[in-house]
Amino acid sequence: MSETQYQWYPGHMTKARRMMQENSKLVDLIIELTDARIPLSSRNPDIDTMFGNKARILVLTKADLADPVRTDRFVKQFAESGITAIPVDARTRKGIDQIRREIDKACAAKRERDRKRGIIGRPVRAMVVGIPNVGKSTFINSFAGKASAKTGNKPGVTRGKQWIRVSKELELLDTPGILWPKFEDPAVGMRLALTGAIRQELLEEQELAMRLLDYLQENYPDLLRGRYMPEGEEERWTFPLKPEMLLEMVAQSRNLVRAGGEPDQMRAAVLLLDELRSGRIGRITLE
């Protein structure tokens, strides 16, 4: 996979970025969402320059899909560098209460300033930012306890800005997902494609699937075997295998064959990527 494939930056993201910077002065806090499966690769390096030293909290979304052991490790690593990172599972609302407390903590100074100036009851305003499809709108909905923001399992669902009033004390600004113009490390682009932050059509499925299989063989061999080992053929498919062979193994395990009996790598790749994204292979962290 060549690096140039990831050098792109759609115009609507430039627009979104401008809108976010303009709204920066209206908010007390930035809630930065990252994907728990790729907590480093899903952090937009531009956020620092966009919002300077505005109060910020870090949320790791889709924790239900990530490897819990690695999530714990990342939370500790972030804590060591002074960042409170909170894993959430929007489906069960796990983590939401802790975020509420962190918002209160992060805004305590602001409330005190307001109080001294005689301003009472002004709500805290927070901007929710993150890469496409990371779960910003879903997060806001689970926070608000109602479906106020439009969500969908593809990048680019939210296009404009939308304020959502969570309570008398809190208002959240939903924003469109943005990326950054160039991925210095091509592996970052690959991880963003695997988790669904970049539209699939932009990438070659088979190549992506083989990279994934190689990673799974190295990091989660039991999950890989458990789901895709053709019955009674453990001896033929002894790890380590080349990525091409792993894809063939997936094809065979699901009887995906082309006319003539050759394994259908293309369909195997699509199936594998789909099963990864939906969590059916297991709880997997990709870095």
In the complex, the residues that contact ligand GTP under the rule CB under 6 A are: 61-62, 64-65, 88-91, 130, 132-138, 151-153, 155-158, 176-177
User: Cα separation of 44 and 179, whole Å?
Assistant: 6
Total chain residues near Mg ion (CB under 5 A) = 4
Q: How far apart are CA 41 and CA 38, in angstroms?
A: 5
Radius of gyration of the chain (CA): 21
- Which one of Mg ion, ligand GTP, none interacts with residue 189, CB within 5 to 8 A by kind? none
Q: Which of 96, 144, 157, 187 binds Mg ion (CB under 5 A)?
A: 157
CA distances from 172 to 72, 103, 136, 168 (A): 27, 11, 10, 12
User: How many residues appear in the chain?
Assistant: 287
> Which 3 state secondary structure label does DSSP give 254?
coil
Closest C-alpha among 29, 33, 53 to residue 42 = 33
Residue 89 interacts, among Mg ion, ligand GTP, none and using kind-specific CB cut-offs from 5 to 8 Å, with: ligand GTP
Residue 90 binds which of Mg ion, ligand GTP, none (CB < 5-8 A, kind-dependent): ligand GTP
Between 155 and 263, CB nearer to ligand GTP: 155
Site string for Mg ion, 130-149 (x = CB under 5 A): ------xx------------
Q: 144 or 241: whose CB is closer to Mg ion? A: 144
Sign of the C-alpha dihedral computed for residues 57, 61, 63 and 68 taken in this order: negative
List the one residue from 34, 71, 158, 265 that touches Mg ion (CB under 5 A): 158
Q: Determine how many CB atoms are found less than 10 A away from the CB of residue 162.
A: 16
263 binds, among ligand GTP, Mg ion, none (CB under 5 to 8 A by kind): none
**Binding of Mg ion by 71 (CB under 5 A):** no
Which chain residues interact with Mg ion by CB under 5 A?
136-137, 157-158
